[in-house]
Structure 1
Amino acid sequence: MTTATQTRSVIVEREIPQPLSKVWKALTRSHLISEWLMANDFDLRVGHQFKLRGVWGGVLDCEVLSFEPERSLSYAWDHDNDDPLYALKSVVTYTLTPTDTGTLLRVERAGFRTEQKQAYGGAHAGWKQFLEKLEAVAAIGG
């Protein structure tokens, strides 16, 4: 008998006072992603494999899974680590919804195992910081 592994998601939402087009550019242009998230070789093509390079020296293996222009973007985000508490295969999904004052951006990073409490908490805090930077990038670079 096998038991299913329970996972949970980090979900962060932010209202950004910019139109969908500017937020979408910040999410999908490699040079803009580098400004708010990490250095990368992203390209908006389903199946494109790319790397995110953290300032700490770590490299994340990613792959574009799906997108709908100015609506949603999903990619695999795999972080290998010798310590199983930090190794994580996850999926990041961005959902954009127009509002009266701009764009509601919802980020969900799914795949945290129940024993990964520290990684889960770190991701929750980290995504809030990333979205704050994304808002600034969308305002000037979008």
Structure 2
Amino acid sequence: MNATTKPDGYGALIEPTTLRIQRLLPGPIERIWAYLTDSDLRSKWLAAGAMEMKVGAPVEFVWRNDELNDPPSKRPADFPEEHRMQSRITELDPMRKLSIAWNNSGDVTFELEPKGTGVLLTVIHRRLPDRSTMLKVSAGWHMHLDVLVARANDKEPAPFWDGWARLQQEYDRRLPA
């Protein structure tokens, strides 16, 4: 890993509107790929939604963040219990890379790289439209990836919304205004 790899740390802006965040997960790579592409597994850390493995294929993500930990923490008033987003796959290299057009808030790329017995997952979210979105998205990716790390290690994740609220304040201090 090079000096810019932070597999357990905070995301960082690599361009003014581009966030990169990484996590080191237990392998094999096929298992982590399934957490990205299988609706049932993805629903345990991010959002449900069937995904046809084909460039241009539509994807509907369905977030139910209250279901990511038990008991759930208190959801902020301005977030619905369920959120749906229409997207599409823009790039696909099975077991290595998956890029998705993230409706109204840029594009997201997931990259997988073997690291010993583990897998380095890099999430790059490009073209974040404004600072408010950037703070919500940064805290969101951080918390969702922490949930994925817990699930991939067969552990119960920390309360999602409590962590998200704390992380949004942290990212407000860390990211340039």
Q: TM-score range by the shorter chain?
A: 0.7 to 0.9
Asked if 2 retains the 8 angstrom alpha-carbon contact of 1:72 and 1:96, the reply is yes
Query: Which residue in the other structure is 1:68 paired with?
Result: 93
Q: Segments of 4+ in structure 1 off by > 6 A? A: none
Consecutive unaligned residues in structure 2, runs of 5 or more: 1-14, 65-79, 155-177
Q: Whose relative contact order is higher, 1 or 2, with alpha carbons under 8 Å and at least 6 apart?
A: 1
> What is the alpha-carbon distance in structure 1 between the residues aligned to residue 26 and residue 63 of structure 2?
27
CA contact (8 A) 1:25 1:138 kept: no
Using the TM superposition, give the Cα deviation of residue 128 of structure 1 relative to its aligned residue in structure 2, in angstroms. 1.1
Partner of 1:47: 56
User: What TM-score does the superposition give when structure 2 sets the normalisation length?
Assistant: 0.64
Map of 1:82 onto structure 2: none
The 1:131/1:62 distance shift into structure 2, 3 A limit, reads same
Instruction: Pick the structure with more strand per residue.
Output: 1
Partners of 2:128 and 2:50 in 1: CA distance: 25
Q: Retained in 1: the 8 A contact 2:57–2:88?
A: yes
2:150 maps to amino acid: A
8 A Cα contact 1:73 1:94, kept in partner: yes
CA contact (8 A) 2:38 2:50 kept: no
1:137 Cα deviation (Å)? Answer: 3.5
Cα distance in 1 between the residues matched to 2:57 and 2:34: 17
List gaps (5 residues or longer) in structure 1: 1-5, 79-87
Aligned to 1:107: 123
1:139 deviates by: 4.1
Matches of 1:21 and 1:40 in 2, distance apart? 19
Q: Compute the displacement of 1:131 (Å).
A: 1.1
- 1:93 is aligned, of 106, 109, 117, to 109
Structure 2 residue matching 1:38: 3-state secondary structure? coil
Using the TM superposition, give the Cα deviation of residue 18 of structure 1 relative to its aligned residue in structure 2, in angstroms: 2.1
The answer to whether residue 45 in structure 2 is matched with residue 36 in structure 1 is yes
**1:30 touches 1:43 (CA, 8 Å); kept in 2?**
no
Query: 58-67 or 47-56: which moved more?
Result: 47-56
Is the Cα contact below 8 Å between 2:95 and 2:112 reproduced in 1? yes
Among 13, 18, 35, the residue aligned to 1:9 = 18
What's the offset of the Cα at 1:105?
0.5
Deviation at 1:10, TM superposition (A): 1.5
Q: TM-score, normalised by structure 1?
A: 0.78
Instruction: Kindly indicate whether the alpha-carbon contact (under 8 Å) linking 1:8 and 1:110 is maintained by their aligned counterparts in 2.
Output: yes
CA shift for structure 1 position 35: 1.2
1:93 is paired with a residue whose SS is strand
Find the aligned partners of 2:105 and 2:122 in 1 and give their Cα distance.
20
Asked whether the equivalents of residues 29 and 43 of structure 1 are also in contact (C-alpha less than 8 Å), the reply is no
